[in-house]
Structure 1
Amino acid sequence: MFLSLRAEVEDALEEALSTLGFPTDDLGLEEPPDDVDSVLASSVAFRLADEAGAAPPQVAGQIAAEIDDEQLMYVSDVETQGPYLNFLPSDGYLAATLDEATDDSYGTLPDREESVVVEHTSANPTGPVHVGRARNPIIGDAIANVLGFAGYDVDRHYYVNDAGRQMAVFTWAYETFDEEDVEEAPERDRIEYDLVRYYRKGNAFLENAAEADVEAAEAEIESIMRGLEMGDNEAYERVSEVVDQVLGGMTECLARLPVEFDEFVKETRFMRNGAAEALVDRLQDLDEAVYEEDAWQLELADHGIDKNLVFLRSDGTSLYVTRDLAHHEWKFDEYDRAVTVLGEDHKLQARQLRTTLELLGNDTDQLQQVLYSYVNLPEGKMSTRRGTGVDLDDLLDEAIERARGEVEDRMDDRIRDDNLDEADIERIAHQVGIGAVRYDIVSKQPTKAITFEWDRALDFEAQSAPYVQYVHARCCGILEEAGIDPETGMDDVETAVDADLLETPEERDLLETIARFPAVVDEAADDLEPHQVATYTREFADRFNAFYRECPVLADDVDPAVREARLALVAASKHTVANALAILGVAAPRSM
């Protein structure tokens, strides 16, 4: 309903401004402060003051007088407050919101008939997923989720680096060393933890072995890389044996978040199908192409980039960026838009990639790159190359264990005996613990560095995942006590609901907040900023808790008609918070 109201306000403002002879290119629409009783405001009078030759409050008054609010369906009145125009919601707006939000699909927008591929995570398959990189799958998955809610046809891709030197080293080490040559077996029984020992052994050997032994190893590693470049099936199968096993384990870890993918696109695809080779020919034809320092490069200084982009070695082998350029052109052919989530250390490469794609004649308006800073623990930054870092599995294990402790501490014996058994406690611990990790990470702007802190992430009273999840559980509890299935909401209730009975400030504030949810989805999708949804959930939780404190739903002295209206509001709240959490990838527990 908020989207409909905003469209109505835009039309009314444009008509009023046009009638007054003012330009209509910027309407100055914004969210009003909490202490203002309106759902939308406009600061357009500031912009027009000089042109009108009058003070902003006078201009606002002229515009308000020109708007015929009797012709508006969702706006009851247009008031001025100094230079601002405030648009107050009508009863019909609130009633329509309540009706829409009692549907479990609330917040999903109409089909835009536009396809988007979201590439994220894409960590090299060299070992377990590391905490520092956990922000990529969490942000990437949330971006894909919010785009899906916003009506886009979304595919989620993991771009697999199976052609670089790291994978050649891994393959050589896997084939060269035996179990007795590597460190002792890991505690966690999953394939990537087992195989990463060979990768570490290979790197240690190349750093410390005798020169002749290193030369022989390097020759074999070079042979693997050249075999991949030449499309040799044997080389591809050798590398794939390692890559597929490690990637399988990594995806098991990511599934715990949960994060899943529609397709794993291998880098070698663009070597084997000739796309990378054909792209090299086009790059060499560019005016920016030079052969320097035994390599083909693009000089990009005239495009604001000081560092050259190397795309072909002197021995005729391509580089990661060469294949990635072919990869992106493939995405442009297959999808209307391409979104890539990248770590901050890829900022230069991202600029080089975009500029080169433009030089090759591509429309880079199709490409959106989301850069993020890394996640640290309070102890400091972490590294995986030598196995000295913190793995994502370890973080998730600890999150579940800490959440279990929080849940048990909050349970009294009566609740344990009457409602929650050990299986329930385990389920809630997983939902709250992993939800705390995801929420804490996705709720921050991507460009801001994060230091993950347990006390904040698992605080049931602060604005964290448990704080929001508890609202959903509370909604379910109220509905169940009223004999309503939380999954179907008010679908099974035959009594007509009168939204006009929701008269208290707390009821109206909650309903107006619910009405804004589709607009939050719309804006978060446009900006590729799922943290906007997290910010909304905190505000929503505050509004619901104020309603819960001040407006009893099932008390004996509540009028039956008011009771039904408040139950509908609870059902609408349940669907809203469940879908907002779904966008963030956070579970919505039925009980806590």
Structure 2
Amino acid sequence: MFREFRAEVEAALADALSAAGLPTDDLGIEEPPEDVPATLASSVAFRLAGEVGAPPPGIAADLASKIDTEGYEYLSRVDSQGPYVNFHPSEAYLADTLDAAQDDEYGRLPDTDTSVVVEHTSANPTGPVHVGRARNPILGDAVARVLDFAGYDVERHYYVNDAGRQVAVFTWAYETFDESDLPDPDRRRADYDLVRYYRKGNQYLESADPEDVEAAEAEIESIMRGLEAGDDETYDRVERVVDQVLSGMRESLERLPAEFDAFVKETEFIRDGSADEVVDRLKGSEHAVYEEDAWQLGLDAFGIDKKLVFLRSDGTTLYTTRDLAHHEWKFANYDRAVTVLGEDHKLQAEQLKAALEILGNDTGQLSHAIYSYVNLPDGKMSTRRGTGIDLDNLLDEAVVRARDEVEARLDSRIRDDDLAEEDIERIARQVGIGAVRYDIVSKQPTKAITFEWERALDFEAQSAPYVQYVHARCCGILAEAEKQGFEAGRDVDPSVLDTAEEVALLRTIARFPAVVEEAAADLEPHVVATYTREFAETFNAFYRECSVLGSDGDRRDARLALVNASRATVANALGALGVEAPTSM
């Protein structure tokens, strides 16, 4: 209802400004400061002060008196406080919010009839996913979920780098070394098994005799040339390694969860000739130059100092060349393309966008979600050297720590009567993995973060368990009501929800669809996370002050409906972040 209320506010304010002969291009509508008692407010009086020649408080009071609320369903009253024009909703606003939020799909926006491909993670298939890159699948999956909730037709893609030097080294190492040359794998899974070959190969290239390294480099170069030439045998050799590693990486990612609709391989754009076609078009561009034994694009016209190399002197393409073909394929098949990238790829993203424009593409279809990295006390990590912390280890530790916290909090009677061992395991997984995911996605993407267990698993602070517990509490209240013969439903009298805590909770529930809309528009899922914390605080205030099952008649039924609305809202908000909502904790 908040979105509808906001639309009515915009229309009423614009009409009043237009009638007064004042500009309507910037209405200044926003959520009011904490000391302003309104659902929405406008700061337009600040903008108009110079034009009208009057102080903002006087302008605000004059505007408020001229705004006509007649004919609006949700806009009930307008007043002013200081420089703000304040807008207040009708009783129908809260009543319709309570009714709409009984739906388990509450918060999902209408279909936009727009297809979006979200590319994220796309880590090189050289070994297990490590923590240093964990923010990409967590943020990327949350971006995809928020877009889906906002009514977009979303596909999630993993772009597989199966044509670069790293994969060639991996293939050579896999075919060169024996099992007896390698240490035992950390886990019995394909990615952990095969990464040993990759690490052994890099160690060999760094420490072997120069003649042996030269022979190895010749074989690695042969693999890269075979891929570029479209040699089927070379493709088969590389695919055997890449697909095995990807199968293991997918198991890690699915634990987050981060699932994909397609794994699009870089070599597809070599084999179908589209990368070569991109090269031909770039060569014909006025921006193309041949310098330093390579074809490059000068991008000064786009404000980028560094040239983009798109073809080596030996006629082989680069990752970026193939990615240009990849993006043109996206543009041909989807209305929008979103790519989630680490901050170290920001320059490449700018170069890519400029090159796409040179190729004649409308880059308005393309958006990038740029993020900074997750830091751990142990510092940076390297798959090549075999140091650092794998994502699986982090998630295992999260579940163990969550189980300890859950068991410490479980009342013995509840555990004996209601929670079997498998329930405790389920809750520990939901809370532990949810804590990791929430802690990472809740931060503004461009800010570097340091993951800390104590904060992530704090049931009392602004963390996943803190929010998840609200959902569990709602489920517990509704389950107990059912035992007593009461059922939450739509046929209630919302007018009895008149305490400050009840009204505040209803108004917070009403905002959820608008929060989804904002998060999707800006590709910032942390906006939803911030909302869930505010929601949890508001619900807990209601829970402390308003007895549900201890109330009688209409008030009890209305409060049960409010609890059910809260359950649906917090479940969907967590779902939009990819965090599970436990029914008990």
Question: TM bucket by the smaller chain?
Answer: over 0.9
- In 2, Cα distance between the equivalents of 1:352 and 1:362? 14
The amino acid across from 2:534 in the alignment is E
Asked if 1:508 corresponds to 2:507, the answer is: no
Work out the CA distance in 2 between the residues paired with 1:483 and 1:109.
30
Separation in 2 of the partners of 1:226 and 1:122? 23
Q: Distance in 2 between matches of 1:147 and 1:491?
A: 37
**Equivalent residues in 2 for 1:179-578, closer than 5 Å:** 179-182=179-182, 184-483=183-482, 496-555=491-550, 558-578=551-571
Q: Deviations over 1:275-307 (max 9, x none)?
A: 000000011111111111111111122322121
Instruction: Report the Cα distance in structure 1 between the residues aligned to 2:300 and 2:129, rounded to whole angstroms.
Output: 36
Matched-pair contact (CA < 8 Å) for 2:311–2:318: yes
Which region of structure 1 is more displaced relative to structure 2, 578-587 or 47-56?
47-56
Q: 1:85 to 1:494 in 2, by over 3 A?
A: closer
Aligned to 1:136: 136
1:393-412 deviations in Å (ceiling 9; x for gaps): 00000000000000011112
Cα distance, 1:54 vs. partner?
1.1
TM-aligned CA deviation for residue 200 of structure 1:
0.6
Please report the RMSD computed on the Cα atoms of aligned residues, expressed in angstroms: 1.4
After TM superposition, the structure 1 = structure 2 runs for residues 169-180 of structure 1, keeping only pairs within 5 Å, are 169-180=169-180
CA deviations 1:382-439 (Å, max 9, x no partner) are 2222111110000000000000000011112112112212111100000000000000
User: How much has 1:475 moved relative to structure 2?
Assistant: 0.2
The answer as to 2:40 corresponding to 1:40 is yes
User: Does the Cα contact within 8 Å between 2:478 and 2:564 map onto a contact in 1?
Assistant: yes
Normalising by structure 2, what TM-score? 0.98
| Identical amino acids, percent of aligned pairs | 73
Counterpart in the other structure of 2:86: 86
Separation of aligned partners in 1, 2:238 and 2:441: 34
Letter of the 2:359 counterpart:
L
What residue in structure 2 maps to residue 113 of structure 1? 113
Equivalent residue letter for 2:52:
A
1:69 offset after TM fit, Å? 2.2
Deviates more, 1:569-578 or 1:203-212: 203-212
What secondary structure, in the 3-state scheme, does the structure 1 residue paired with 2:482 have? coil
> Which 10-residue stretch deviates more, 198-207 or 427-436?
198-207
The question of whether the paired residues in 2 share the 8 Å contact of 1:114 and 1:153 is answered with yes
Helix, strand or coil at the partner of 1:85: strand
Alpha-carbon contact 1:78-1:85 (below 8 Å) kept? yes
> In the alignment, is the contact (CA less than 8 A) between 2:478 and 2:487 conserved in 1?
no
SS in 1 for 2:382: coil
Instruction: Pick closer, same or farther for the CA change 1:493–1:431 going to 2, 3 Å.
Output: closer
CA contact (8 A) 2:298 2:306 kept: yes
Deviations 1:149-200 (A, max 9, x none): 0000000000000000000110010011100112x21231111001000001
Conservation of the 8 A alpha-carbon contact between 2:496 and 2:555:
yes
Q: In the aligned structure 2, how far is the partner of 1:171 from the partner of 1:66?
A: 74
Which contiguous aligned blocks of 4+ residues in structure 1 show a shift greater than 2 angstroms?
33-37, 69-72, 378-384, 490-496
2:580 alignment counterpart = 587
- In 2, the alpha carbon distance for the partners of 1:19 and 1:528 equals 37
Aligned residue type for 1:189: R
Query: Could you tell me which amino acid in structure 2 is paired with residue 312 of structure 1?
Result: L
Structure 2 residue matching 1:482: 3-state secondary structure: helix
- Name the amino acid aligned to 1:97: T
Deviation at 1:493, TM superposition (A): 5.2
The letter of the residue matching 1:219 is A
Aligned residue for 1:516, secondary structure, equals helix
For residues 277 and 454 of structure 1, what CA distance do their matches in structure 2 show?
Answer: 49
Alpha-carbon distance in 1 for matches of 2:408, 2:482 = 29
Distance 2:169 2:69 in 1: 71
Q: Counterpart of 1:155?
A: 155
Q: What amino acid sits opposite 1:544 in the alignment?
A: F
CA contact (8 A) 2:490 2:561 kept: no
Q: In the superposition, relative to structure 1, how do residues 179 and 491 fare at CA in structure 2: closer, same or farther (>3 Å)?
A: farther
In the alignment, structure 1 segments of 5+ residues that lack a partner are none
Amino acid in structure 1 at the alignment position of 2:532: T
CA distance in 2, matches of 1:484, 1:92: 32
The superposition leaves residues 211-242 of structure 1 with CA deviations (integer Å, 9 ceiling, x where unpaired) of 11111111111111111111111111100000
Assess if the C-alpha contact under 8 Å between 1:125 and 1:160 holds in 2.
yes
Aligned residues of 2:489 and 2:561 also touching (Cα < 8 A): no
CA-CA distance at 1:101 after TM superposition: 0.5
8 Å CA contact 1:117, 1:154 repeated in 2: yes
Q: Distance in 2 between matches of 1:281 and 1:296?
A: 11
Q: How many angstroms does 1:491 deviate by? A: 12
Secondary structure, in 3 states, of the residue corresponding to 1:70? coil
Quote the Cα distance in structure 2 between the aligned partners of 1:112 and 1:303: 32
Task: Give the equivalent residue in structure 1 for 2:25.
Answer: 25
Cα gap change, 1:224 to 1:3, in 2 (>3 Å): same
Q: Distance in 2 between matches of 1:209 and 1:53?
A: 80
- Secondary structure of 1:352's counterpart equals helix
1:301-357 per-residue CA deviation (whole Å, 9 max, x = no partner) reads: 232212111111111110000000000011011111100000111011011101111
Question: Normalized against structure 1, the TM-score is what?
Answer: 0.97
1: CA distance, partners of 2:207 / 2:135: 34
Which AA in structure 2 matches 1:10?
E
Aligned-partner residue type, residue 530 of structure 1 = P
CA contact 1:38–1:86 (8 Å) conserved in 2: yes
CA distance in 1, matches of 2:380, 2:207: 26
Give the deviation of 1:70 after TM superposition: 3.5
CA distance in 2 between counterparts of 1:553 and 1:453 reads: 36
After superposition, the C-alpha distances for 1:86-129 in whole angstroms (9 at most, x for unaligned) are: 11111000000000001000000000000100000000000000
* Amino acid in the other structure paired with 2:94: L
Separation (CA, whole Å) in 2 of partners of 1:104 and 1:280:
51
Partner of 1:49: 49
C-alpha separation in 2, matches of 1:52 and 1:493:
53
2:31/2:41 contact within 8 Å kept: yes
Secondary structure at 2:171 match in 1: helix
Residue 494 of structure 1: CA displacement? 6.5
Say yes or no: does 1:71 pair with 2:71: yes
Contact 1:436 1:458 in 2 (8 A): yes
Between 408-417 and 105-114, the greater mean CA deviation after superposition: 408-417
3-state SS of 1:265 partner: strand
Cα deviation code 1:471-529 (max 9, x no counterpart): 000000000000089xxxx9965672111100000000000000000000001000000
> Number of residues paired by the alignment?
585
Q: Is the 8 A contact 1:484 1:492 kept in 2?
A: no
Measure, in 1, the Cα distance between the counterparts of 2:48 and 2:104.
43
CA contact (8 A) 1:163 1:228 kept: yes
Aligned residues of 1:495 and 1:564 also touching (Cα < 8 A): no
